[in-house]
Amino acid sequence: MDYKELMNQAVEIRKRAYTPYSGYQVGAALLTKAGTVFCGCNVENAAYSPGICAERTAFVKAVSEGEREFSAIAVIGGKADGPLESAPPCGICRQVMREFCDPDTFEIILGTGPEDYQVYTLSQLLPMSFGPDNLRNQETV
């Protein structure tokens, strides 16, 4: 699976975004180390805070199907009636990535489409992060 194809899948799933409140649509395609792809879109809510981002939709789908090992995620955004845009993941999504992914090797593909993207590591987008290792070997109170 090359990143151009992963980006294509993000573009496709973005069409399913449910965004009656912001009108900003995001698609994400999450690649497992085994080569499977889980796709997600943002799903908004009338009460606002229950809304979920595309990236977390993809992670929740994958983890709930038993996947724990990931190599990359492609993300694409843009207004419903406008061109595709680069959509850097929000802070909460970066932290969710940190839970399951190695910051130095997990790659985040951002850009305006399959022909125009850049590749970042998670540690570039979330430096000095707090993760599962910080809670290992802690005595419980």
The residues that touch ligand THU, with contacts defined as CB under 6 A, are: 19, 22, 24, 26, 42, 44, 51, 53-55, 87, 89-90, 93
**Looking at beta carbons only, is 75 or 136 nearer to ligand THU?**
75
Active site residue 55: yes
SS3 54: helix
Query: Exposure of 140 by Cβ count < 10 A (0-12 exposed, 13-18 middle, 19+ buried)?
Result: exposed
**Looking at beta carbons only, is 34 or 120 nearer to ligand THU?**
120
Q: Which of 55, 69, 99, 139 is catalytic?
A: 55
Q: How far is the CB of 140 from ligand THU (least distance, A)?
A: 33
**Looking at beta carbons only, is 20 or 35 nearer to ligand THU?**
20
Q: How far is the CB of 44 from ligand THU (least distance, A)?
A: 5
CA 114 to chain centre: 16
Q: How far is the CB of 66 from ligand THU (least distance, A)?
A: 24
77 vs 27: CA distance, rounded Å: 6
Distances (CA, A) of 23 to 11, 38, 45, 76, 139: 16, 23, 12, 14, 46
**What radius of gyration do the chain's Cα atoms show?**
15
Q: Which residues belong to the active site?
A: 55
